[in-house]
């Protein structure tokens, strides 16, 4: 059933399809359930709605919950897949999922659909899900799970092991055991290894670590992701202002957060309000891109207006127009490089306090070096190509100054926006490029107008 080649595992899709089409439930379950949940999810996504209807009859809601937790769908696709199922089957499946995963799906449904599913779930599950739904989106509370293992500080190791065995089946991770008091306040943590090797009569309080790294329930999910990355945690506890343990965030959720934040930053850098879905129609895709494009279109008209101001200079020395794309392109590229460095530093938390000033100073120095080298190179090329030293000197000076200004802007603007509480990714490539187009043309044609007598 499973073939292994070149360290890759492949499942026999044709066999599974055949068993479904023949409605051979025993053989299908035997082959399908031995697959990894990721492979199950891949097969589930590949087949069409008709075959999936058979899968729903062959698998229990609990088995389907494992698949749904492994599939990677666009947010608006969950509703389509749930609509294929009987409502009671879908509600049961959501009940068997980890609460944080179920909440992610329910958040993509409209209020009426969400209430319909919640009405069919047991009271304990509904209470847990509603608690997570109440937290603001993109916060630690919104992505945490309630399925974790906690023990009282006064418990013995033997008692803690008994609790662990009881909770292991439903806990999302058992590698960390969190220690609380009677008020459920977080006091410490110990690893599964520490629990296993400890003597059975020892008190948990005596072997736990009270050096706890935790996050507040209102903390931004991106900050939580950076914290877990820095400490290499598999899970991190979530507390409130009274230090009550509310839940944990596991590494698999943080991977999703990192992907989500990266896509968001990439879309902003591209000048798109939201990343296009591959399956989105042209009208929907255009609707997302047009607002930014129109804004940039009006900003670009500033560049055209500047060209008109210096029309007299261009009429006198038409050769100057030849090098405008070269100067604006080089300026834009250097600005985008500096922008990428600054945004990456802000996103990873590597830049803070005095580091911001040092970054700007370093980028300014870098821009000076790149500008001098690029400018000198252009002077030589134009002199050999066009046989004119003065125009070469003018273009070289303009490129040098433009690179310095662009590099400074690319590093300073996102830092300033971050200081003002604005997402620095909004200082996206198109905006930096447009700004650099304007400044490079002003520098270039301003120098040309000033020294027009020497270059004619």
**Does the pLDDT of residue 318 top 80, yes or no?**
no
Q: How far is Cα 252 from Cα 171, in angstroms, rounded to an integer?
A: 14
Say yes or no: 291 and 423 in one domain. yes
Question: For 405-426, what is the mean pLDDT?
Answer: 79
The fraction of the chain above a pLDDT of 70, given in percent, is 82
Give me the DSSP letters along 261-288: HHHHHHHHHTT-SSPPPTT--HHHHHHH
The fraction of the chain above a pLDDT of 90, given in percent, is 45
Query: Is 28 within a domain?
Result: yes
Query: Is 270 within a domain?
Result: no
Question: For 70-78, what is the mean pLDDT?
Answer: 79
Question: For 281-294, what is the mean pLDDT?
Answer: 67
Tokens of 101: 């995963």
Query: Is 27 within a domain?
Result: yes
Query: Is 36 within a domain?
Result: yes
Domain boundary among 233, 250, 267: 250
Domain boundary among 85, 107, 136: 136
Say yes or no: 129 and 183 in one domain. no
Query: Is 83 within a domain?
Result: yes
**Residue 249, Cβ neighbours under 10 Å: how many?**
29
pLDDT value at position 430? Answer: 65
Query: Is 276 within a domain?
Result: no
Q: What is the CATH number for 129?
A: 1.25.60.10
Say yes or no: 241 and 116 in one domain. no
What are the pLDDT digits (tens) for 208-223? 999 999 999 999 998 8
pLDDT value at position 239? Answer: 96
Mean pLDDT, the chain, rounded, equals 84
Say yes or no: 129 and 190 in one domain. no
What are the pLDDT digits (tens) for 237-284? 999 999 999 999 999 888 888 777 666 665 555 555 555 455 556 776
Q: Are 214 and 241 in contact (CB under 8 A)?
A: no
Question: For 310-337, what is the mean pLDDT?
Answer: 78
Say yes or no: 321 and 429 in one domain. yes
Say yes or no: 288 and 403 in one domain. yes
User: Total domain count for the chain?
Assistant: 3
Domain boundary among 104, 136, 168: 136
Say yes or no: 218 and 312 in one domain. no
pLDDT value at position 416? Answer: 82
Query: Is 24 within a domain?
Result: yes
**Does the pLDDT of residue 390 top 80, yes or no?**
yes
Domain coverage including residue 41: 2-136
Say yes or no: 430 and 339 in one domain. yes
132-146, 272-286, 307-321, 344-358, range with the lowest pLDDT: 272-286
What are the pLDDT digits (tens) for 33-57? 999 888 999 999 999 899 999 999 9
Q: How far is Cα 375 from Cα 330, in angstroms, rounded to an integer?
A: 11
Say yes or no: 154 and 128 in one domain. no
Residue at token pair 């850098």: 269
Say yes or no: 307 and 446 in one domain. yes
pLDDT value at position 269? Answer: 55
pLDDT value at position 315? Answer: 64
Say yes or no: 380 and 298 in one domain. yes
Q: What is the CATH number for 334?
A: 1.10.357.20
Q: How far is Cα 4 from Cα 357, in angstroms, rounded to an integer?
A: 53
**Does the pLDDT of residue 287 top 90, yes or no?**
no
Query: Is 264 within a domain?
Result: no
Say yes or no: 291 and 373 in one domain. yes
Q: What is the CATH number for 159?
A: 3.10.580.10
């Amino acid at each position: 059933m499973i073939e292994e080649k070149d360290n890759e595992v492949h499942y026999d899709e044709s066999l599974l399809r055949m068993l479904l089409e023949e409605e051979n439930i025993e053989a299908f379950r035997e082959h399908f359930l031995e697959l990894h949940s990721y492979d199950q999810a891949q097969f589930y996504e590949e087949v069409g709605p008709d075959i999936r209807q058979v899968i729903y009859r062959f698998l229990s809601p609990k088995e389907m919950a494992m698949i749904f937790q492994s599939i990677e769908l666009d947010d608006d696709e969950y509703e389509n897949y749930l609509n294929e199922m009987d409502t009671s089957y879908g509600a049961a499946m959501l009940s068997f999922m980890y609460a944080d995963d179920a909440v992610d799906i329910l958040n993509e449904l409209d209020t009426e659909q969400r209430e319909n599913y919640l009405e069919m779930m047991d009271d304990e599950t509904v209470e847990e899900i509603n608690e997570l739904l109440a937290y603001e989106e993109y916060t630690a509370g919104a992505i945490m799970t309630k399925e974790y293992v906690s023990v009282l500080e006064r418990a013995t190791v033997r008692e803690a092991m008994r609790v662990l065995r009881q909770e292991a089946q439903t806990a999302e991770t058992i590698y960390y055991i969190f220690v609380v008091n009677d008020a459920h306040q977080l006091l410490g943590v110990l690893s599964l290894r520490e629990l296993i090797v400890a003597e059975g009569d020892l008190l948990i309080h005596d072997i736990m670590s009270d050096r706890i790294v935790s996050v507040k329930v209102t903390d931004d999910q991106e900050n939580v992701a950076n914290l877990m990355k820095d400490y290499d945690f598999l899970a991190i506890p979530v507390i409130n202002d009274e230090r009550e343990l509310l839940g944990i965030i596991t590494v698999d959720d943080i991977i999703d957060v990192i992907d989500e934040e990266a896509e968001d930053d990439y879309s902003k850098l591209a000048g798109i309000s939201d990343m296009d879905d591959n399956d989105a129609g042209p009208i929907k895709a255009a609707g997302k891109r047009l607002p930014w494009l129109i804004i940039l279109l009006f900003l670009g008209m500033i560049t055209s207006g500047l060209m008109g101001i210096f029309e007299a200079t261009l009429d006198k020395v038409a050769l100057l127009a030849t090098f405008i794309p070269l100067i604006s392109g080089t300026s834009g590229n250097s600005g985008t490089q500096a922008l990428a460095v600054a945004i990456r530093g802000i996103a990873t938390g590597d830049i803070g306090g005095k580091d911001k000033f040092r970054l700007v100073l370093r980028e300014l120095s870098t821009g000076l070096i790149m500008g001098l080298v690029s400018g000198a190179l252009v002077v030589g090329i134009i002199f050999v190509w066009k046989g004119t030293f003065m125009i070469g000197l003018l273009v070289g000076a303009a490129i040098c100054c433009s690179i310095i200004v662009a590099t400074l802007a690319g590093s300073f603007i996102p830092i300033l926006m971050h200081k003002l509480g604005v997402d620095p990714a909004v200082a996206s490539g198109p905006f930096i490029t447009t700004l650099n187009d304007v400044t490079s043309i002003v520098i270039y044609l301003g120098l040309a107008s000033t020294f027009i007598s020497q270059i004619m």
